[in-house]
Amino acid sequence: MMATEIALPTDAACGQAAVASRDSAADMALVRACRGGDQAAFTKLVEIHEGLVFNLAVRLLGDGEEARDVSQEVFLQLHRSLPRFEGRSSLRTWIYRIVVNHCRNRQRWWRRRRRDKACALDDISRADEAQLAVRSAGSEDPFAQVARHEREERVRRALDRLSFDHRTILMLKEVEGLSCEEVGEALQLAVGTVKSRLSRAREALRVSLGPWPPEGGRP
């Protein structure tokens, strides 16, 4: 029955909130150290967050080199504006906001030069993906590996066909696991706007993806 599958807040979710709170406290400690001129603390901050920054950037821009470049810009911007960080939102949310703004600017820059088509998401080759993805595929059945690559390729293409705003909100909500309030803070939108945009983005993804799971495949 469909109705029995409705997800309600669980103990696991509460546990995640506790972890997020602990991370936030650790981030604030690092931010304070950075403000005091501790370069090692900033290096630690980069090492902690570079994964989420790069993952979001590469999914929004679809190009590994561009995403790496943008990630550097994000941390430079973070370093410059740390003295202005007041801690009203979490550092993670603040970083997401910087990433999204940089990616949007970068995409506009490319569109002005008519190259937005050239850096579509599907330009990440399988070789890139294999190098970038964190996984141990050594023990995987080769057929299963090919099937998984094909499924991921379809999802990437479907994501690429969405607008930048829809891609962003889906990445923040579904992949990064932010709440609607946090997404609203990151994108500087009202919560109601986030919910309605999320609803449209999910529907757009469903249409873009087509029948899922693919015929004869596993999700």
Partner 1 sequence: MTCHDVRRRLSPLMDADLALGEMRTVQEHLRECPSCAAELASLRASVEALRSLPRLKLKDSLAVEVRHRIEVESRGPGLALLFRPAWMARPLIFPSLVPAALVLVSILAAVAALDRDPTQVVEHAVAPPAYLAPSGTETNPLFPSEDVSSPQVLTRGDLDGVAWADLPEGSLFVETVVARDGTVSDVTLLQGDSVMARQIMASLRREQFEPGRRRGRPVAVSIYRLISHMEVRASATT
43 near partner 1, judged by CB under 8 A: yes
Amino acid at 148: R
Q: Does 133 bind partner 1 (CB under 8 A)?
A: yes
Residues 1-30 that bind partner 1 (CB under 8 A): 1-3, 5-9
Give residues 73-92 in contact with partner 1 (rule: CB under 8 A). Answer: 75-76, 79
The residue length of the chain stands at 219
DSSP state of 134: -
* Tokens, residue 57: 């950037």
**Which helix (DSSP H) or strand (DSSP E) does residue 14 occupy?**
helix 11-35
Asked if 46 is part of the footprint of partner 1 (rule: CB under 8 A), the reply reads yes
Contact between 155 and partner 1 per CB under 8 A = yes
Interface with partner 1, residue 166, by CB under 8 A: no
Q: Tell me the C-alpha distance between 140 and 68, whole Å.
A: 29
Rounded Cα distance between 46 and 72, Å, is 9
| CA–CA gap between residue 16 and residue 9 (Å, rounded) | 11
Contact 167, 176 (CB under 8 A): no
CB of residue 83 to partner 1, shortest distance in Å? 14
> In this structure, what token pair is assigned to residue 94?
């603040």
Tokens of 117: 């088509």
φ, ψ at 75 (rounded to 5°): -70, -30
Least gap, CB of 202 to partner 1 (angstroms)? 5
99 makes contact with partner 1 (CB under 8 A):
no
157 binds partner 1 (CB under 8 A): no
Binding partner 1 by CB under 8 A: which of 156, 172, 178, 183? 156
- Smallest CA-to-CA distance from 90 within 193, 168, 19, 15 is with 19
Asked if residue 110 lies in contact with residue 119, where contact means CB atoms within 8 angstroms, the answer is yes
Q: Which of 159, 169, 172, 187 touches partner 1 (CB under 8 A)? A: 159
Report the nearest approach of partner 1 to the CB of residue 6 (Å). 6
Name the amino acid, one letter, at 137.
A
Residue 65 interacting with partner 1 (CB under 8 A) = no
Q: Residue 90 or residue 162: which is nearer to partner 1 going by CB?
A: 162
- Show the tokens assigned to 34: 């950075």
- Residues contributing to the site for partner 1 (CB under 8 A): 1-3, 5-9, 39, 42-43, 46-47, 50-51, 54-55, 58-59, 64, 68, 71-72, 75-76, 79, 129, 131-135, 151-152, 155-156, 158-159, 170, 174-175, 180, 195, 198-199, 202-203, 205-206, 209, 211-213, 219
